[in-house]
């Protein structure tokens, strides 16, 4: 009963990896605009949004990393893992944090442009509607549903692999935060008029990225503590 | 209640809430907003308060179109310089006195109905008042013409 059921664990790991890949790849297949708006956006060299799902990957990469660390314990001896885990976590979370902060500012910049255009009638609003006024809400919903299903399957596999994972409050909270991120993006995509979805999508992306930064800082602090302990 | 049951309950709750959210979007049946002047004005009027407060919060940080003067009282014509860093630069004209006509011709190719931006400024104190209006200058810049259609007239730039 106390043993880790490896097939379920590997399945959970693979599913979390799929979640991250789907989120990162979403920008490639989701069309955030009609052909007409895409043409205009390209003529103006303007960034069309689609931040919510993409930025979920910052949070889910952390989930994948934590599950991967648990998995590595199966392959690497505990003594060696104890020494390198702190250093690797520090490096990963530090650069992850930096990248996420840069991404937050990039989304913020586009958000400022979108909001200022929308609220500058007549031609600012026309420009906003022409470039950002449409959003592939159904495509985003399908992608979010796929991500949600993968996360559910991964969470169930993790519990089936070892029920004691439920006692790991940090892991449970991180996975719940990941589900919450999905809910936030889904809410912001579906509860506002279609012309405002580009704005709420960017807002959602920023919120999710901030949550990811908070988690990354949390892991960074624990990594530093672990390194100090290893040195002593 | 055991931790397993709590987790199952939480997962079921998340799934239900998620389905409600997605169904709400799927059933709304909204299409992309049209881009005519009248529809644009309607959309701005219907913009929720939270979006307006967000606009107020970001107002100082938005890319602004810098014009030669902050106030115009006579006819004027000026060239808007290109700006490679900003795709969109706004300038809002507030009519303080008289009536005026604003015309901006952007040099950017294939900019659809943003190439020629033209509107009248007049304060009639009715619902469709157009005491203020904005133009959007694109990367390539263009030519701005301000015409006073009454004497005296005064237009302030935000």
Tokens of A56: 């979920």
Residue B65 binned pLDDT confidence (cut-offs 50, 70, 90): confident
- The yes-or-no verdict on residue A162 having pLDDT over 60 is yes
For residue A231, being part of any structural domain is answered with no
pLDDT digits (tens, 9 = 90+) for A93-136: 999 999 999 999 999 999 999 998 888 888 888 888 888 888 88
Torsion of CA A176, A182, A188, A190, to 10 degrees: -120
For residue A131, being part of any structural domain is answered with yes
For residue A232, being part of any structural domain is answered with no
Check: CB of residue A208 under 8 Å from CB of residue A59.
yes
Q: What's the predicted TM-score (pTM) here?
A: 0.86
**Cβ-defined contact of A123 to B43 (cutoff 8 Å):** no
How far is residue A185's CA from residue A144's CA, in Å, rounded to a whole number?
Answer: 8
For residue A20, being part of any structural domain is answered with yes
Contacts of residue A126 in chain B, CB cutoff 8 Å? 35, 37, 40, 113-114, 136
pLDDT at B5: 83
Residue A203 binned pLDDT confidence (cut-offs 50, 70, 90): very high
Sign of CA dihedral A27, A28, A31, A33: positive
pLDDT at A43: 63
Q: Is B13 on the interface with A (CB under 8 A)?
A: no
ipTM score of complex:
0.83
- The yes-or-no verdict on residue A48 having pLDDT over 80 is no
Looking at the structure of chain A, the number of domains it has is 1
- Is-cis flag, bond preceding A25, omega within 30? no
Interacting residues of B108 by C-beta distance below 8 A, sequence separation 6+: A43, A44, B114, B115, B138, B139, B140, B142
Contacts of residue A166 in chain B, CB cutoff 8 Å? 3-4, 7
Give the rounded percent of residues in chain B with a pLDDT score beyond 90.
13
Residue B1 binned pLDDT confidence (cut-offs 50, 70, 90): low
**Averaged pLDDT, A220-229:** 90
For residue A82, being part of any structural domain is answered with yes
Q: Which domain holds residue A131?
A: 6-25+32-226
């Amino acid at each position: 009963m106390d043993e880790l059921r490896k097939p379920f664990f590997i399945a959970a790991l693979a599913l979390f990896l799929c979640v991250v890949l789907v989120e990162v790849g979403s920008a490639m297949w989701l069309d955030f605009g009609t052909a007409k708006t895409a043409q205009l956006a390209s003529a103006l060299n303007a960034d069309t949004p689609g931040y919510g799902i993409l930025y979920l990957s910052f949070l889910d990469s952390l989930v994948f990393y934590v599950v991967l660390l648990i998995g590595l314990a199966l392959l690497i001896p505990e003594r060696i893992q104890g020494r390198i885990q702190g250093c690797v976590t520090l490096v990963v979370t530090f650069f992850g944090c930096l990248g996420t902060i840069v991404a937050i500012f990039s989304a913020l910049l586009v958000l400022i442009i979108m909001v200022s255009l929308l609220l500058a009638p007549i031609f600012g609003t026309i420009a906003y509607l022409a470039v950002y006024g449409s959003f592939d809400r159904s495509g985003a919903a399908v992608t979010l549903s796929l991500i949600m299903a993968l996360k559910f399957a991964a969470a169930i596999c993790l519990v089936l692999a070892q029920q004691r994972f439920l006692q790991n409050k940090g892991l449970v909270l991180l996975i719940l935060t990941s589900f919450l991120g999905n809910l936030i993006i889904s809410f912001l995509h579906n509860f506002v008029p279609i012309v405002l979805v580009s704005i709420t999508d960017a807002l959602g992306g920023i919120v999710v990225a901030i949550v990811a930064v908070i988690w990354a800082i949390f892991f960074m602090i624990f990594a530093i503590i672990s390194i100090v302990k290893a040195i002593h | 209640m055991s931790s397993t049951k709590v987790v199952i309950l939480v997962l079921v709750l998340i799934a239900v809430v998620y389905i409600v959210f997605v169904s709400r979007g799927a059933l709304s049946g909204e299409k992309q907003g049209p881009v005519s002047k009248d529809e644009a004005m309607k959309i701005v009027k219907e913009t929720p308060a939270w979006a307006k407060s967000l606009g107020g919060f970001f107002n100082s940080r938005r890319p602004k179109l810098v014009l030669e003067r902050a106030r115009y009282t006579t006819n004027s014509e000026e060239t808007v310089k290109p700006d490679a860093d900003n795709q969109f630069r706004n300038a809002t004209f507030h009519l303080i006195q008289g009536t005026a006509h604003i015309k901006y011709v952007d040099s950017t190719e294939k900019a659809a109905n943003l190439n020629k931006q033209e509107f009248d400024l007049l304060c009639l104190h009715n619902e469709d008042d157009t005491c203020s209006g904005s133009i959007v200058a694109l990367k390539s810049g263009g030519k701005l013409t301000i015409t006073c259609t009454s004497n005296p007239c005064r237009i302030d730039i935000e």
